[in-house]
Structure 1
Amino acid sequence: MTPAPANPVTAAGDGDEGEDADLISLLPDCILTTILSLLPVPAAARTQILSRRWRGLWPSAPLHLLDSHLPVPAAAAVSRILASHRGSAARFHLLLARPSAADADSWLRSLAAKGLRELVLRTPSDEPLRLPPSLLSCRALRAAELTNCRLPDGGEARFPRLAELSLRLARAPSAAALHGLLAGCPALASLSLDRVFGCQTLHVRSGTLRSLTVSVSLTPRRALEGAGELERLVVEDAPALERLLAHDVNWGPSINVVRAPRLQMLGYLGVGIQELQLGSALFRSMCAVRLAAELRCVRTLALEMVDPQAKPVADFLRCFPCLETLYVTSHMVVPRSMKIFDFEMGDPVECLNHHLKRVVLKGYSGRKHERQLANFIAHHARVLQVMKFLCDNECNLSWVANQKRLLQADKRASLGAQFVFQKFNKSYIRDREWGPFVCVHWRLVLRRSGIK
């Protein structure tokens, strides 16, 4: 009589049989380690006690170490995990623990050896975290966010795979160091600079950069450890750049776009930008000094004004002949007013005749200049599809009816255009209407390009 074959399930586990057999253990190592990499570190590490089959899986699985997932997010716990794990490192997020100089150096050396791909440093302290030179050895990085950090002194920055870089409340040892860092990122697609010190004039030259955001402090001429904040951004040569955003523009920086032939989204331009040069066009604190209709690539524009007016908006529209979407915000964190201009239409504006389809007026309250701006657009935008009023009041039916009467909606140039009134939360003046679209749009762009 031929003996019955051995039970493969029993062979895979430690004696489990019948309905409670361990079928998961039959999966190949590559699948099991992928599953483990999706679990918080404590849960993934505990799987080693399940059976002999699982004992060696977690130490070799891709490491996703987030200190916020640890029961006790202390530096000692992070050190133990890095020492016991022998596989590659996918993510390392430090949000709660504050490492010593020796720990930071040891961790980064270990992570560099593991081929770390994503790094987030956002330690809870008013004192900037001084990053050791071992950061520069993490050359497998694809995404990095460095918050409240001082970049390392000396050493050659070379991150051949880095696609996303965010510096927030960061101190560069010198302008040359920051320029060297960016030059050492030949695959950089997204760059965010939020309150960067140590470099007052930044020159951007990148053949791969597609998204650039820059913001400064809400108060002027702030200094950190004696280092001045970024005051001037020069986009010298960015052939792939599609999105340029300035946030908190009450105090700059000044922006000069020399060459960005694929720029599609340009935003949050306000009076705080002392000088804005777009090709040959020049504005100072939102006032046109020299106009030139050169940026035909721009499709979306966002402006910020305390008291929106038709003339400065019309001047900007003349610079973007193919503009399709316009946002005008009448709210700023620290109001800075501008002079009142008389306005006459003058020469036709190309984008109003052929391209402008969507206009969003944020913080609209029905003031005189706001109505004049809305009337100007409605009476000249021939292909307008919708004008959306995000109102800074209760937006009741009688008030809306009165606004439509004052706006002379029946005289609009595009008979199919809709006027939509909506109440909104002022604290979400940017994020609700434009922010989510921008974030989702660029995550999709990066993923479609193979950047995780």
Structure 2
Amino acid sequence: MKEGDLAFLLDKCPVLEKLLIVGSRWPVCLRVQSGSILCVEVCTAIVSEITVLHAPCLERLLLWEAWGGGGLTNMCSRVKIGHAPKLRFLGFLVPGMHELEIGNTIIKLGKARMLPSFLRCFPNVETLYIQSDNDGIKLWETPSSHTGEFKLKFLKEAGSIECVQNNIKKLVFRECRGNRNELYFLKFIAEHARVLEEMVIVLTNGCSPSDLVCAKLRTFMACAKWASVCCKLMVFQSSFHQEGTTRCHQQAFDLSNQDPFDVSRCPRGNV
């Protein structure tokens, strides 16, 4: 199936609401122009580009292991969002794998420092999922990154993010290992998110809520000056047998499920 075939398929399905592409070995170049589509999900596929031209009803644009199709010199998948006024769920976006274009703004997801620029494109976001990689989240990328100077600089630069200050109600931080950068990121959110109701921390595989990592985490967060006095801090052990992003195709594809990224209720066999 080639680009023209996908375009033909969508054009001939004027009432199509959900589209799922899984396991494509040929580069997917998908252009979404539909007055009916509600959900587009692309999983374990080679994806050169996804462009949302005109999708007034689109609510979910979901990616899972959508690799770039440009060969070794260009492994980046480009996601372009044009007219999608009802888009409520977007992810997972991976640094080094995805490039996001919204209107005239292009965000190359190459560094964790791009997070402020990324969040400023979504001033109304209410739920934010962050996943740490195998080396932990990297907020500073200089040899002297362990000094307080760079930590304070990052916090100062990121302090004016509207969604963090005024809209984020829930933060889910996955694959937490309790390293220094993760702790400072969580503390930053705690001290700037004024309407935060829940901070959910999921420890990486092998860590449990009763071990030293959890104790270190709770002690550090207890010292934060929380912007929201009503926020609940919850720490859980990963329910999956290995590290990495968990994904439930069926749950995400079910529009009655209000949060397609919440895999806590997903049966093991569907991940």
The TM-score with structure 1 as length reference comes to 0.47
- Can you list the C-alpha shifts for 1:369-414, whole angstroms capped at 9, x where unaligned? 1112101101100111111110011221654232122234441111
Residue 182 of structure 1: how far off its partner (Å) = 1.5
> 2:102 corresponds to which letter in structure 1?
L
Q: Does 1:317 align with 2:108?
A: no
* 1:279-318 pair list within 5 angstroms: 279-287=103-111, 309=112, 311-318=113-120
CA distance in 2, matches of 1:199, 1:437: 25
Contact 1:175 1:198 in 2 (8 A): no
* 1:12-411 pair list within 5 angstroms: 172=1, 174-198=2-26, 200-217=28-45, 229-249=46-66, 251=68, 252-287=76-111, 309=112, 311-331=113-133, 340=141, 342=150, 343-346=154-157, 348-392=160-204, 393-396=207-210, 398-411=212-225
**Percent identity of paired positions between Structure 1 and Structure 2:** 26
Contact 1:190 1:210 in 2 (8 A): yes
Pick the structure with greater CA Rg.
1
RMSD over equivalenced CA pairs, Å: 3.0
Moved over 6 A (4+): none
Residue 209 of structure 1: how far off its partner (Å) = 0.5
- Can you list the C-alpha shifts for 1:190-217, whole angstroms capped at 9, x where unaligned? 0111233555522111110010111344
Residue 255 of structure 1: how far off its partner (Å) = 0.8
CA distance in 1, matches of 2:27, 2:238: 38
The TM-score with structure 2 as length reference comes to 0.76
> 2:43 corresponds to which letter in structure 1?
S
> 1:359 corresponds to which letter in structure 2?
L
- Can you list the C-alpha shifts for 1:59-100, whole angstroms capped at 9, x where unaligned? xxxxxxxxxxxxxxxxxxxxxxxxxxxxxxxxxxxxxxxxxx
Greater helix content: 1
1:298 maps to what in 2? Answer: none
Q: Structure 2 vs 1, CA of residues 440 and 404 (structure 1 numbering), >3 Å: closer, same or farther?
A: same
CA distance in 2, matches of 1:240, 1:179: 18
Q: Does 1:416 align with 2:230?
A: yes
Ranked by relative contact order (alpha carbons within 8 Å, sequence separation 6 or more), the top structure is: 2
Residue 345 of structure 1: how far off its partner (Å) = 2.5
> 2:190 corresponds to which letter in structure 1?
A
CA distance in 2, matches of 1:274, 1:386: 28
> 1:324 corresponds to which letter in structure 2?
E
Aligned residues: 236
What secondary structure sits across from 1:441 in the alignment?
Answer: coil
